Structures are given as structure tokens and as C-alpha cells.
């Protein structure tokens, strides 16, 4: 029988892996089971964090412009959004013993900023010491996707941000990083998300059911 407790679930993966879709599916299933759950995302999740999200993801600079966000400016914006998100949404929800489902969290910063853009990991770790407030995911789902499936899904998107237009080599590097992180941890699950059927959402729900002891 389900006993109410704080529980933090994170979905990670590259663009087009289906993490937003799967996080919504899980959210709906938990709500049907009358489990108090919130669905949120990074960057974003709160009014202030969503303002920072717009700043990060909109491509303000033309392709011909020499001016771009420096990679450390970019990283600081992500971390600023995370600070607001944890303080104002994630931590309060967990204190109320809710289940929190988050579309992206700290592993995206490692995969994209550290392994993707060569930002110094010590720089990020030092800021995380201040802003994470002891928050750690209970489960992380890494959705692994093939190049073809990812490309097809990105083509279908009506609205795109600058991260949807990166070179395939960047996504390959980022996906490799996610898998490397997951291989070192017991509460990480690497799942193939290339197929467009409901088998993945069933697998995800079965794992969550076991952890939350839902019958």
C-alpha cells in the first residue's frame, strides 16, 4: 500500500528522446492513482525561472553575429534558474511529501555544459554546493534515443529553441555523457526511447510502482 512520502523523479536525455512526453504520461498515471504529484521542468518551473528560460533558449543572436553568450554566462543562467526552482518549487513540494517529476535536472548541466561545452566541472560543483539544499533525485530515467528517431521528432516540432538546432555530434556526445553518469549509479535507469509505442511508459510506471510501493 502506498505510504505518502517525498519522492523526486527526474527524466534526462537529449533533444527528441521523448522525456517531456514520458514525464507527462507518468504524471497522469500517478494522479490517477490519487498520489499528490507535481510536474515541472528545467530550466523553468517557476515564474522567475521561466523568465530565465526564455533568455537561455531563445536565439537572440543571428547566425552571422559574432556576439554569443559566453559558455560561463550560459551556465550561470541555468544555475540561477535552478536556484529559484529548488527554493520556490521543488523543496517546498518535497517538504509536503509530494512526488516531484522533473523534466531535466543536474545531469543535463554535466552532459551539455561540461561534456558538451567544456565548462569546468569544479565551477558548477561549487555553485551546486550552495543551491541544491540537499536535494537529490530518488530515481533518474535516462532515455536513450537513436539518431533517426530523434531527427524525426525534432522535425515535427512546431516551435524550436536553439538547442534543437545543434549539430548531431553534440547530441551524440551529450547522450554518451548521460549514459556514463548512469552507469555509475544504482538508482539510474537507461531505457531505449526510440520506439513509438506504449512499452516505455509501462516500463517506467512499473519501476516507479516498485519504489513507491503502489499496488
Please report, for the domain that includes residue 177, its CATH number. Answer: 3.40.50.300
Paired with 190 in beta bridges are: 142
Share of the chain above pLDDT 70, in %: 90
Give residue-wise pLDDT tens across range 138-155.
999 999 998 877 777 777
When comparing pLDDT for 166 and 93, which is higher?
Answer: 93
Nearest to 164 by CA among 77, 59, 69: 59
Are the C-beta atoms of 77 and 71 separated by less than 8 Å? no
Reduced to 3 states (helix: H, G, I; strand: E, B; else coil), residue 139 is strand
- Helix/strand/coil percent split, the chain, to 5: 55, 15, 35
What local confidence, expressed as pLDDT, does residue 175 receive?
94
Handedness of CA 124, 39, 178, 209 (dihedral sign): positive
Which residues constitute the domain of residue 43?
A: 7-212
In a domain, 192, yes or no: yes
In a domain, 2, yes or no: no
What local confidence, expressed as pLDDT, does residue 31 receive?
96
In a domain, 138, yes or no: yes
Question: What does the mean pLDDT of the chain come to?
Answer: 91
For residues 22 and 46, give the distance between their C-alpha atoms in angstroms, rounded to a whole number.
Answer: 21
For residues 163 and 129, give the distance between their C-alpha atoms in angstroms, rounded to a whole number.
Answer: 27
Average pLDDT value for residue range 172-176? 93
In a domain, 130, yes or no: yes
In a domain, 1, yes or no: no
Does position 166 have pLDDT exceeding 60, yes or no?
yes
When divided into structural domains, the chain yields a total of: 1
For residues 26 and 22, give the distance between their C-alpha atoms in angstroms, rounded to a whole number.
Answer: 6
Pairing, β 139-144 against β 37-41 = unpaired
Amino acid at each position: 500500500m502506498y505510504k505518502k512520502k517525498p519522492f523526486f523523479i527526474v527524466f534526462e536525455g537529449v533533444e527528441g528522446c521523448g522525456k517531456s512526453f514520458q514525464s507527462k504520461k507518468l504524471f497522469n498515471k500517478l494522479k490517477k492513482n490519487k498520489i499528490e504529484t507535481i510536474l515541472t521542468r528545467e530550466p523553468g518551473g517557476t515564474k522567475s525561472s521561466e523568465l530565465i528560460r526564455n533568455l537561455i533558449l531563445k536565439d537572440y543572436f543571428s547566425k552571422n553575429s559574432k556576439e554569443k553568450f559566453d559558455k560561463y554566462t550560459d551556465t550561470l543562467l541555468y544555475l540561477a534558474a535552478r536556484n529559484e526552482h529548488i527554493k520556490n518549487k521543488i523543496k517546498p513540494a518535497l517538504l509536503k511529501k509530494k512526488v516531484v517529476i522533473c523534466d531535466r535536472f543536474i545531469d543535463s548541466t554535466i552532459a551539455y555544459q561540461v561534456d558538451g561545452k567544456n565548462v569546468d566541472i569544479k565551477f558548477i560543483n561549487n555553485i551546486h554546493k550552495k543551491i541544491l539544499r540537499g536535494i537529490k533525485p530518488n530515481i533518474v530515467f535516462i532515455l536513450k534515443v537513436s539518431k533517426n528517431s530523434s531527427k524525426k521528432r525534432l522535425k515535427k516540432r512546431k516551435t524550436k529553441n536553439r538547442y534543437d538546432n545543434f549539430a548531431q555530434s553534440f547530441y551524440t556526445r551529450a547522450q554518451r555523457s548521460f549514459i556514463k553518469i548512469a552507469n555509475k549509479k544504482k538508482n539510474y535507469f537507461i531505457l531505449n526511447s526510440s520506439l513509438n509505442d506504449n512499452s516505455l511508459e509501462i516500463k517506467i510506471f512499473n519501476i516507479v510502482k516498485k519504489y513507491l510501493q503502489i499496488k
